[in-house]
Amino acid sequence: MDDLRDVGEPVDETELAIEGALRPTSLAEFVGQHKVRGQLQLLLDAARIQQRSPDHILMSGPPGLGKTTLAMIVAHESGRPLRLSSGPAIQHAGDLAALLSSLTPGEVLFIDEVHRMARSAEEMLYLAMEDFRIDIMVGKGAGATSIPLDLAPFTLVGATTRSGLLPNPLRDRFGFTAHLEFYEPAELERVVERSAAMLGVDLPVSARAEIARRSRGTPRIANRLLRRVRDYAVVHGGGADAAAVAAALELYDVDAIGLDRLDRAVLDAIVHRFRGGPVGLSTLAVAVGEEAETIESVVEPYLVRIGFLGRTPRGRIATPEAYAHLGVAHADGALRFDDL
Ligand SMILES: Nc1ncnc2c1ncn2[C@@H]1O[C@H](COP(=O)(O)OP(=O)(O)O)[C@@H](O)[C@H]1O
Ligand SMILES: [Mg+2]
């Protein structure tokens, strides 16, 4: 999978290191997300004044918008140690019990992809979040007993791309949910400007604007495009100018408005194979050879946001704007006729 298309967490060590290095460490440095920043600031200030752990926080939104970064900022700004874990690593209640009982007082526990935790662990987490207490089961069958265990107070920061998959009792126990939105081009320009300065890339304003416009509203993608443009400039000897941006992005299949291969494959399938839709998510996933979850949590949010895709009770539809972008005449009449 090429790394421009993969908007998930980087798996490659160098990519991870670079992403880590580009992470803002304070709310003041964190670009955009005005509302969420204000909300978090209030929460952290209140906790500091009252000298207690901040409430549990849920970060919700598509990949690459800053959930992990904000979790780190919460720990950093409140001067607390941070422990990192993730839903897929918590396959049994015992995994969670071991993690929770080893926390030091006031520690911030970050659980990424919190919707992917085992069900038994979720139930243990309800009690832990509410009362800082868990019940540990000892023994099996008729002789099994539960031993209550008190925990040090902690702040849970959960991140999810699928808040709809969280059971209500778990969602209700977060004191605050930060809903991260896609970024405006002007905000992404600031992200790119900051990263270019940190990476020592001399980037003209026009190149910066072009990268921002083609980053799918996502800082992670903006940072990746910047690095590919830098690569291009290094290899071809020119500067990292608008021409280098255009050439590099063409090489990586990023189109004029920032859609990547998978975005276009999804639109293409709806328009050509399903005559504009409606088509069910699983059928669509099979048609483009991707996991339904990837389509739903990575591809669709942005296509919906720019008004190219609609989610209806009967399935996904392509809008006239999507047709126009693909350069296909909108078969409105045919669609209506089919619907009868
Ligand atoms: N608001 C922001 N300002 C500056 N950089 C950001 C911002 N949000 C995200 N980033 C950068 O984007 C990358 C991905 O962010 P991350 O927090 O890992 O996203 P998520 O956890 O939501 O997938 C990081 O390198 C981070 O530095
Ligand atoms: Mg993350």
pLDDT of residue 5: 46
Query: Nearest residue CA, atom 16 of ligand 1?
Result: 66
Which ligand 1 atom is at minimum distance from the Cα of 19?
Answer: 25
Ligand 1 centroid to residue 66 C-alpha, Å: 4
**DSSP characters over 96-154:** HHHHHHTPPTT-EEEEETGGGS-HHHHHHHHHHHHHSEEEEEESSGGG-EEEEEE----
Which ligand 1 atom is at minimum distance from the Cα of 191?
Answer: 4
Q: Is the CB of 67 under 6 A from ligand 1?
A: yes
> Omega of the bond prior to 148 within 30 degrees of 0, cis?
no
What does DSSP assign to residue 26? S
pLDDT of residue 12: 73
Q: Is the CB of 244 under 6 A from ligand 1?
A: no
Find out whether 188 is annotated in a ligand binding site: no
> What b/e readout covers 93-120, taking b as 16+ CB neighbours within 10 angstroms?
bebbbebbeebeebbbbbbbbbbbbbeb
Helix (H) or strand (E) holding 178: strand 176-179
* Residues that are catalytic: 67-68, 112, 161, 220
* Spatial distance between the Cα atoms of 143 and 71, rounded to a whole number of angstroms: 41
Pairing of strands 145-150, 155-160: unpaired
What does DSSP assign to residue 165? G
SS3 content of the chain, % helix, strand, coil (to 5): 50, 15, 35
Which ligand 1 atom is at minimum distance from the Cα of 112?
Answer: 21
Query: Around Cβ 149, how many Cβ atoms within 10 Å?
Result: 14
pLDDT of residue 127: 92
* Spatial distance between the Cα atoms of 295 and 300, rounded to a whole number of angstroms: 6
Ligand 2 centroid to residue 9 C-alpha, Å: 6
What does DSSP assign to residue 50? T
* Spatial distance between the Cα atoms of 182 and 140, rounded to a whole number of angstroms: 49
pLDDT tens-place string over residues 99-142? 999 999 999 999 999 999 999 999 999 999 999 999 988 888 88
Helix (H) or strand (E) holding 176: strand 176-179
Residue given tokens 């949910």 in the structure block? 177
Q: The pTM is what?
A: 0.92
* Spatial distance between the Cα atoms of 240 and 249, rounded to a whole number of angstroms: 12
Query: Nearest residue CA, atom 13 of ligand 1?
Result: 220
pLDDT < 70 regions, the chain: 1-11, 331-340
The end-to-end CA distance of the chain, in Å, is 41
Q: Which fold has domain 185-251?
A: Helicase, Ruva Protein; domain 3 (1.10.8)
The ligand placed nearest to the CA atom of residue 16 is: 1
The ligand placed nearest to the CA atom of residue 70 is: 1
Query: Nearest residue CA, atom 26 of ligand 1?
Result: 23
pLDDT of residue 331: 64
* Spatial distance between the Cα atoms of 117 and 166, rounded to a whole number of angstroms: 10
- What are the phi and psi torsion angles at 317 (to 5°)? -125, 150
Residue whose CB lies within 8 A of the most ligand 1 atoms, among 34, 40, 65, 162, for a mutation test: 65
- In angstroms and rounded to an integer, the radius of gyration of the C-alpha atoms of the chain is 23
pLDDT of residue 334: 46
pLDDT of residue 154: 98
Ligand 1 centroid to residue 281 C-alpha, Å: 28
pLDDT tens-place string over residues 223-249? 999 999 999 999 999 899 999 999 999
List the domain boundaries for the chain. 33-179, 185-251, 261-339
Pairing of strands 82-86, 57-60: unpaired
Q: Is the CB of 191 under 6 A from ligand 1?
A: yes
Q: Is the CB of 220 under 6 A from ligand 1?
A: yes
CATH of 261-339, one of 3.40.109.10, 1.10.10.10, 3.30.310.50, 3.40.1050.10: 1.10.10.10
Find out whether 110 is annotated in a ligand binding site: no
Q: Which CATH superfamily is domain 33-179 in?
A: P-loop containing nucleotide triphosphate hydrolases (3.40.50.300)
